[in-house]
Chains A and B, each alone.
Chain A
C-alpha cells in the first residue's frame, strides 16, 4: 500500500509555465487583443511624443548650425561695418572656446599676452553671469535692485556705495531671487571693472581702426560686392586689417553667400519692372499689380520658366551678366531652404527642455496617459481573473503553488505588454516620423536621429512591459490567494 509521505511541492519550470500561459492567451485571443490594444495606444502615444521630441531636438541642433552658417555673410558684413559694443565683446569672450577664431582675433586687437587673455576671459564669464542674472529678472525687481542701469552700467552702478547698498538690501528683501556669485568674487570683479573696461575699449578702438582700413579699400563700392571677392584680394585686405579671416573655408563661403545675396537682391529688384511682373501675372492669371516677390520665387522655383523670366529681364534692360536659368532656380531653392530653416528654428525653440526634452505639460500628459493605461490593464486582468476563478481553483486542486498562479498572470500581462509595446512603439515611431517630416520637410531627413529613435523604441517596449507587469500585480495576487475550494462551486 502506498505510504503517505508529505514533501514540499516543487516549482514548475519557467519553460512549462510560459507554455501554459501562452496556451491560455491563445485560447482567449480576442480578450487578450483588447488588452493589447490598450497597451498599443499608450505605448504609441509615448513613442510618438518621444520620437517627435528626439527629432525636434536633433533638428534644433542641426538647424542652429545651418542657420549660423547661412548667416555668416550677415555676421561678417556687420562686423566690417561697426566695432560693436563693450557688451558684445564680453559675450564673445564668455561664450567661445579659447581656441576659436574670435578669441584669437580679440587677443590680436587688444595685443594681450596669453595670461592676460585667460584672466580677461574669466572676468568676462563672471560679467556675463551678472548680466544674465539681471536680464532674467522682471522689470520691477530689476529696477528695485539696479535702478535703470544696463550693460556695463550695471557694474558701474554697483561700484558706487549707493548702488551697492540698494542692490544688497533689495536682494535681502526679495526672497525668491538668488544671486549665486560669492561676495568676495563680486568685490574682486567690481575692483577690476575699470581695468577690464579699459581693455575692452582697447579692443573696440583697434576694431574701429581695422574697419577704417577695410573701408579705405571699399571706398565707394558696395561692401557686399567686395565680400563677393573675399576669396581673393579682398580677403587679404580683411586679414591685413587684423581680422582673423580663414582663407581655407570661411572666405569661399562668404564669397558664395555674398554673390547669392547680391543676385537675390537683384532679382527682387526686377519685380519693379512691369514686364517681369506681367509674365508672372499671366501665369497666375492675376493683375500685374497684385504680383509680389514671393510669387516670383514660387514661379522660379518650379524651374520651367526661369529661362523665360531671364529673357524678360534682359528685354526690360536689366543686367543679366552672370545669371542663367539654373542660377535663378538655385536662388529660388536656396531661398526656400532658408525659409524652411527659419521655420524649423521657430518650431524647435522649446526643444530639449524638461523631462526627456518633453516639457512639463507633455511629461504630465504622458504620465496621466500611462496611469490610465495601467488602470485599464489592471481592470482587464481583474476581469480575466474573475472569469477564470474556476480554472485557477482547479489548478490549485491539481497541486499548483500560489507562486505559479501569480507568475502565470504576471507573465500573461508581460507578454501582452511586449506585443502591445512592440506594435505601439512601431506605430508611434511612424506617426512621429511622419508628423515631423511634414513639419520640417524632407531636407531634414539626415537630421533624424535613427539610433536615438531605436533606443526610444526599446525603452518604450520596456516601459510598456513594465507597466503591464506592475498593473497585473494586484489581480495576480488576488488570483494566487483564491481558495481552491472555489473549484467545487458549480456555475
Chain B
C-alpha cells in the first residue's frame, strides 16, 4: 500500500486524478497501543490498532463508551502520543514532530469538531473562525474575508457578529465546523458532533459534513452513536475493548440497518 501511496503523491492534478486519489492514505496507524496508569493500575485503552484512512473518505467510528474510541481519536488527531506504535498523518510520523511543528499540524492539517462545540465564549462567530487563521499567520484583513466566505458555506454569514451565547446549538456547531475549516484542513475529526443536538439540527449538521466531504474533498472521521451517520459514511468502524471490532463499507451495513429499522 505504501508503494501505491508514494506513486499517487507524485501524480498531480487532484481534479482529474479523483478516482485514484481516493486510495491515497492520509492517516495510518501501526500497532497503536495506549496504556494509562490510573491509581497504580495499568489500564489498556488501546490494544493494537492498525488502520489506514484514505483521502476523501467519510468514516464513522462507533463503539460503546470506554471502548477506547476517544483515545483513538486523540491519537490520530495528534493530541496525545501512543505508548507503543506509530501514527502517520500523510506519512509524517507524529512522534517525530517538535511542539511548534505539532501546533502547525493541528492548525493547518486537522480540523477538530467537538461534541460541546468548544467555541471561545468571548469571541464573535467571525472571530472564532479567524482565530486559527491568526495562529497560522494570516493577515487580519485576509482572514476576515476568508472567514466570511467560510461562514457563508455553513449558512451563517448574516450572524457573523453574534457571540456563541446568542446562537442555538445547531448554529454554534456550524460555527465550530466553519472554524475547523479555517485553514483548509485535510482531515476533519468530529467527536460526536450531533450528540448535543435535536434530530433536525443533527440532520442539518450531518448534511453539512457530507457536503464538505463530497464538495471540498475533506476526509471526515466521525465518532458517533448516531445511526443516521451510517447512511452517509463511506466506511464504518467499530471499536471494542481497545481493538477494531469490525470494519465495513456502507453498502454492506446498509442492509443490516434496514433489518434493524
Q: Is A442 an interface residue (CB 8 A)?
A: no
Q: How far is the CA of A395 from the CA of B183 in the complex (A)?
A: 14
Asked if residues B121 and A391 are in contact (CB atoms below 8 Å), the reply is: yes
- Asked whether A401 and B100 contact (CB < 8 A) given A1-B14, A10-B137, A394-B114, the answer is yes
Q: How far is the CB of B232 from chain A (nearest CB, A)?
A: 22
Q: Which of B90-98, B167-175, B201-209 forms contacts with chain A?
A: B90-98
Asked if residues B120 and A399 are in contact (CB atoms below 8 Å), the reply is: no
Q: Is B57 an interface residue (CB 8 A)?
A: no
Asked if residues A2 and B184 are in contact (CB atoms below 8 Å), the reply is: yes
**Contacting residues of chain A (342-372) with chain B, CB-CB under 8 angstroms:** none
Asked if residues B106 and A396 are in contact (CB atoms below 8 Å), the reply is: yes
Chain A, residue nearest B71 (CB): A485
Asked if residues B135 and A400 are in contact (CB atoms below 8 Å), the reply is: yes
Q: How far is the CB of B114 from chain A (nearest CB, A)?
A: 6
Count of A-B contacts judged by CB separation below 8 Å: 112
Q: Is A491 an interface residue (CB 8 A)?
A: yes
Looking at chain B, what size class is its interface with the partner chain?
A: 35 or more
Asked if residues A394 and B80 are in contact (CB atoms below 8 Å), the reply is: no
Neighbouring A residues of B58 by C-beta, 8 Å: none
Q: How far is the CB of B116 from chain A (nearest CB, A)?
A: 5
Q: How far is the CA of A396 from the CA of B217 in the complex (A)?
A: 25
Q: How far is the CB of B169 from chain A (nearest CB, A)?
A: 14
Neighbouring A residues of B107 by C-beta, 8 Å: 9, 398-399
A400 partner, pick from B14, B103, B105, B109, beta carbons under 8 A: B103
B106 partner, pick from A7, A397, A491, beta carbons under 8 A: A397
Q: How far is the CA of A418 from the CA of B127 in the complex (A)?
A: 27
Q: How far is the CA of A28 from the CA of B118 in the complex (A)?
A: 17
Asked if residues A12 and B134 are in contact (CB atoms below 8 Å), the reply is: yes
Q: How far is the CA of A332 from the CA of B165 in the complex (A)?
A: 72
Asked if residues A6 and B104 are in contact (CB atoms below 8 Å), the reply is: yes
Neighbouring A residues of B136 by C-beta, 8 Å: 9-10, 399
Chain A, residue nearest B80 (CB): A485
Interface string of A224-241 (1 = CB under 8 A from B): 000000000000000000
16 other A-B residue contacts (CB within 8 Å) besides A27-B121, A485-B74: A1-B55, A6-B101, A7-B104, A8-B101, A9-B103, A20-B123, A20-B131, A27-B122, A391-B118, A394-B120, A395-B131, A396-B106, A398-B112, A399-B183, A483-B80, A485-B77
Pairs A-B, 8 closest by C-beta atoms: A399-B107, A27-B122, A4-B90, A9-B103, A399-B135, A485-B79, A8-B100, A9-B104
